[in-house]
Amino acid sequence: MNVTIVDYQSGNISSVINSFTEVAKGKVNLEVTSDIKKINKSDKIVLPGQGSFKSCVDSLKRINGLVDTLKDFAITNKKPLLGICVGLQMFADVGYEEAETKGLGWISGKVSKINNQGGKFKLPHIGWNEIEIQKESKIFKDIKNKSHMYFVHSYEFIPEDESVISATTNYSSKIVCSVERDNLFGTQFHPEKSDKIGLKIIDNFLKL
């Protein structure tokens, strides 16, 4: 199996590479690239994302043909794609970090700043929080409800269609922290930094 981690200069992806390398050991051929030909030949794609919504979308668009290639892969051909953090947020129609920015529009909805109740909750939302599993998910196989995952973000994805939500977490309000539709997966938390339980999610994705 060929799995590609999309490297589109979106910031620090070393941890994503390290964790996938650890789980993939000997079983999966892992590529880290933005080469469209290689992405097209992949069986699965991982779309990381760090920094702001705007900077990630801008970086993605800077690589000629990448957005269309990803859309063909995940939406038209429904092949497995996992977005992590801003990688997930970009599925939305629009994001409001830095400036109003058009997203990929794969799952209708918006990405807005977490309402921290006038400073009652510190932002960024950094640290370990429990996930509340909302529906059966292929990547949550053998993951217990209320498992702890590592979060670092100030913005949240609010999808229009709530049936895509596979898990939420509580931070000032209920925050969507995982979505799933067909073979499109996204986590707001960082499985690559979430200890053994996070590696299990990565393993579940690789075993799909």
Partner 1 sequence: MLKNRIIPCLDVKNGRVVKGINFVELKDAGDPVEQAKIYSEGGADEICFLDITASNENRETIIDIVRKTAKKCFVPLTVGGGVRTIQNITDLLLAGADKVSINTAAVNNVDFVKEASKKFGSQCIVVAIDAKKVSDNKWEVFTHGGRNKTGIDAVEFAKQVQTNGAGEILLTSMDRDGTKSGYDVGLLKVITDSTNIPVIASGGVGTLDHLYDGIVKGGASAVLAASIFHYGEYKIKEAKEYLNSKDVSVRL
Other CB atoms closer than 10 Å to residue 114's CB: what's the count? 17
Is 177 considered catalytic here? no
Residues in region 144-183 near partner 1 by CB under 8 A:
148, 150-154, 170-171
With CB under 8 A, what is the number of residues at the site for partner 1?
Answer: 38
Taking alpha carbons only, the member of 111, 133, 128, 140 closest to residue 171 is 128
For the segment 45-74, give every residue that binds partner 1 (CB under 8 A): 50-52, 55
Q: Which residues pair with 184 in a beta bridge?
A: 81, 181
**Closer Cβ to partner 1, 4 or 194, answer by number:** 194
DSSP of 163-206, one letter per residue?
GGEEEEEEESEEEEEEEEETTEEEESS-GGGSHHHHHHHHHHHH
Residue 195 found at the interface with partner 1 (CB under 8 A): yes
- What is the C-alpha radius of gyration for the chain, rounded to an integer number of angstroms? 16
Least distance in angstroms from the C-beta of 54 to partner 1: 11
One residue of 15, 33, 59, 183 binding partner 1 per CB under 8 A? 15
Q: Which is nearer to partner 1, 106 or 151 (CB)?
A: 151
3-class secondary-structure state, position 105? coil
Binding residue for partner 1, selected from 41, 124, 135, 162, defined by CB under 8 A: 124
Please report how close the Cβ of residue 77 comes to partner 1 at its closest, in angstroms.
31
Burial class of 31 by CB neighbour count within 10 A (0 to 12, 13 to 18, 19+):
middle
Nearer to partner 1, 2 or 154 (CB): 154
CB of 148 to partner 1, least distance (A): 5
DSSP summary character for residue 145: T
Q: Which of 73-81, 87-95, 158-166, 194-202 is the region at the interface with partner 1 (rule: CB under 8 A)? A: 194-202
- Identify whether the C-beta of residue 131 lies closer than 8 Å to the C-beta of residue 123: no
Q: Give 28 or 123: the residue with its C-beta nearer to partner 1.
A: 123
Told to check if 199 binds partner 1 by CB under 8 A, we report yes
Active site residues: 85, 190, 192
